Amino acid sequence: MKIEWTKAAVGRRGFLKGATALGAAAALPIGFGGRAVAAEGGTLRVRSYGDMQSIDPAFSKGVIDEEIHASIYNKLIQYKPGREWDWQLDAASMIEQVDPTHIKFALRDDIGFTGGHGAMTAEDVKFSFERIVAEATESPNKPDMGPLSHVEVTGEREGTIVLNEPFAPLWTIALPYITGNIVSKNAWEAAGGKATTDPLAESGPYLRASWSPKEKTVLTRNPDWKGEAPAWDTIEILPIDDENTAEIAFEAGELDFTRVSLGSVARYRDGVPNGGTLLEYPSLYYAWLGMNLDHPKLQNQKLRQAIQHAIDVPMIMEAAYFGAAEPSTGIIAPGLAGNRSKSLIPPQANFEKAAELLAESGETNVTLKLDTLNKTTFTTAAQVIQATLAQIGITLEVNVLESGAFWASADNEDLQLVLNRYSMTPDPYYATAWFTSEQVGHWNWERFSNEEFDKIHNSAYQETDPEKRAVMYQRAQDLMEESGAYRFLTHEASPMVHSAGVVPALRPDGLALLRYFGKA
């Protein structure tokens, strides 16, 4: 077939003429409509640091998914907004621990599922909880449910949660967090037992109206919700990973609520634009400097102790955290059982003692490598550590890694020092879990292995006396510090801003409980 280009409907001259005309037309001024303003017309616009991954609680990836799940599903109990860790009833009208392994509950009679899946019953609770621990489900969130045996259904809306052994985190993680979301047995079974990104049946005060990947998730009021009416007609959750962009959007009036960067806290303390308010909450995250106990260069405990004493934590707080975070005493944040009032080694550096310990170690010309994430906070902290260790004659090489490579460091046998940060749920059980002997080569990068520590971890979660439990976790952190493998840095901070028209409802660590957000 021969194509005669010059006989095409548009000739070369025509094309050039057209292109010139198009250019001229495009140059004409275009009038744009008015801007969308946040909090307008009952719409709350909040920022999330990432996009939703799964609508199924069994496969929730954490905070991002949970912000949505907590609004469209119900749990027996929910976290209570405030500065102290506490819970309040949600789908349960009554819940009671009758003995260390049995928890009785009764459901409200006014909660139903969308899509014609009927009222919420104890069978739904049984299905939701048991599927999390079932091998077949392969839920990554299974550890949150701990030693759940089963749920006994004793009536249409009554039942008993039965545990294989006592499990204190049931009240702090299992029931009020990800695994506590109750889904519809009917809907899930009809869908083959698994949901991906489209809700099968919802029951919360909000319904997920739409999801535009990487753009926004829209929640709207559930018209059939019989509980306390939610304040907002619509909630738009916008995935914005860059905090600076979120701050600009907030200042432009396009967001009502967002976490802000630590570097902006000082500026917002002087005043938040548009009549907004800055909220400063502590965080549960914990950051520390770890030392690989298996590395030949770090076998000498005196050397490790010298490093511990030479690191000036307040200086790191000023330089890397802009003075917006406080030094930590361990891996368990204030407000949680097991938080220590002070660490064994004071946060301030003691260079004299560090030099003494280094001399006692007999090590000379010490050169070490510090691995860290390619985030400004960590690289700055690494530079401060590099400078302070230099004061006692230790040369530090900082090795900056992108997140994928950094988080694959578990099997890096050459790992020496590492600046690390783990996330946390509101129970000490979650913190110690990563430092047991079992975790060596996985998440215990320091290769810290201590029999007493392991014993504490494996027994403290069963301890139902909060005071005894706290003492156990405090001892666990003492053991970590005494090993010389850890210099605890901070729990960071959760600074947030909200617009004048919003009354935020937050967990004590600043996590947004969107269903309880109010209007000013």
Partner 1 sequence: MLLYAIRRFGLALLILLVAVTAMFLMIRAVPGDPVQIMLGPRATPELQAQLTAELALDQPIWKQLAIFYGNLLQGDLGIDVFSGRSVTDIVFRQLPHTLYLIFASIIWSATLGIALGAYAAAHPNTFIDRAAAALSVSFVAAPAFVVALLSLLIFAVHLQWFPAIGAGDGFWDRLNHLVLPAFAIGLSWVGYIARLVRASMLEVLGESHIRTARAFGLSEGRIVMIYALRIAILPVVTVIGVGMGFLLSSAVFAEIVFARPGLGKLVIDSITTRNYPIVMGSVLISTALFVVSTALADLINAWLDPRARSAK
Which residues contact partner 1 (rule: CB under 8 A)?
Answer: 2-3, 5, 12-13, 15-17, 19-20, 23-24, 26-27, 30, 32-33, 35-36, 51, 53-54, 61, 138, 140-143, 196-197, 212-216, 238-242, 245-246, 248-249, 251-255, 273, 402-405, 407-408, 410-411, 434, 442-443
* Residue 292: CB minimum distance to partner 1, A: 17
CB of 249 to partner 1, least distance (A): 4
Of 195 and 480, nearer to partner 1 (C-beta) is 195
Query: 174 and 148 in contact (C-beta within 8 Å)?
Result: yes
Whole-number Cα distances in Å, 268 to 241, 263, 271: 20, 10, 5
- Start-to-end Cα distance in the chain: 72
The H or E element containing residue 58 is none
Whole-angstrom distance, CA of residue 450 vs CA of residue 447? 10
Task: Scan for tokens 């946390």, then name that residue.
Answer: 424
Distance between CA 449 and CA 483 in Å, rounded?
9
The nearest distance, CB 427 to partner 1, in angstroms, is 15
Considering the complex, what minimum distance in angstroms separates the CB of residue 138 from partner 1? 5
Which residue's CB is nearer to partner 1, number 140 or number 155? 140
For partner 1, the closer CB: 32 or 364: 32
Closest approach of Cβ 35 to partner 1, in Å?
A: 5
Beta-bridge mates of residue 101: none
Residue 423 Cβ vs partner 1, minimum distance, rounded to whole Å: 9
Percent helix, strand, coil in the chain (nearest 5)?
Answer: 35, 20, 45
- In the complex with partner 1, the residue whose CB is nearer, 54 or 93, is 54
Cβ atoms within 10 A of the Cβ of 329, count?
21
Closer residue to partner 1 in complex, CB, 214/455: 214
CB of 369 to partner 1, least distance (A): 15
Name the residue nearer to partner 1 (CB basis): 121 or 420. Answer: 420
Contacts for 25 with CB less than 8 Å, ≥ 6 apart: none
Q: State the minimum distance, in angstroms, from the CB of residue 244 to partner 1.
A: 8
Partnered with residue 512 across adjacent β-strands are 506
Q: What is the 3-state secondary structure (H, E, C) of 259-279?
A: ECCHHHHHHHHCCCHHHCEEE
8 Å CB contact between 449 and 437: yes
Distances (CA, A) of 371 to 233, 328, 419, 464, 483: 47, 21, 6, 39, 20
245/459 with CB nearer partner 1? 245
Residue closer to partner 1 by CB (options 52, 170) is 52
State which amino acid sits at residue 303: L
Rg (CA), the chain: 27
C-beta closer to partner 1: residue 359 or 398: 398
Q: State the nearest-atom distance from the C-beta of 179 to partner 1, in Å.
A: 12
Burial of residue 405, with CB atoms counted within 10 A of its CB: 0-12 exposed, 13-18 middle, 19 or more buried: middle
